[in-house]
Structure 1
Amino acid sequence: MSGTEKTKAHAEQAKGKAKEAMGRMAGNDRMTAEGHADQAKGNARRTKEDIKDTFRH
């Protein structure tokens, strides 16, 4: 996995976790859902890079 994409995936996952936690604390369902979506984007990015790495080797 390229370093930049790996970093982006981790950052997106962390951002999503933080946003989800803040949404839960504030009782804001929309923010919680957005945080969950950000985590899913990070997971998708990571999976995409893992698949690319599998075919490279």
Structure 2
Amino acid sequence: MATEDKFQNKAEELKGRAKEQVGRATDDPDLEAEGRADRVAGTLKQAGEKVKDAFRK
């Protein structure tokens, strides 16, 4: 389960990065902000998984 969560979190971060880049390229500040939010959410979830892993060991 943890590996699947890590994969989904990384995918969310990468999706956010892509949206952010497309928003910049098309000069769409809303898409860029949405991408930034997705990227940050994915990063925070990954940090949470790392904390959980630290307590499991």
Report TM bin, short chain.
over 0.9
Give the Cα separation in 2 of the matches to 1:55 and 1:7: 20
Structure 2 gaps of 5+ residues are none
Segments ≥4 residues shifted beyond 3 Å: none
Structure 1 gaps of 5+ residues are none
TM-score normalized by the length of structure 2:
0.93
TM-score normalized by the length of structure 1:
0.93
CA deviations on 1:14-57 (whole Å, 9 max, x unpaired) are: 10011001100110001001100000010011011000011111
Give the Cα separation in 1 of the matches to 2:53 and 2:10: 17
Percent of pairs identical after alignment? Answer: 39
Q: RMSD value over aligned CA atoms?
A: 1.2
The answer for the alignment partner of 1:30 in structure 2 is: 30
The structure with higher relative contact order (CA 8 Å, sep 6+) is: 1
Give the Cα separation in 2 of the matches to 1:53 and 1:3: 11
1:34 is paired with a residue of what secondary structure?
helix
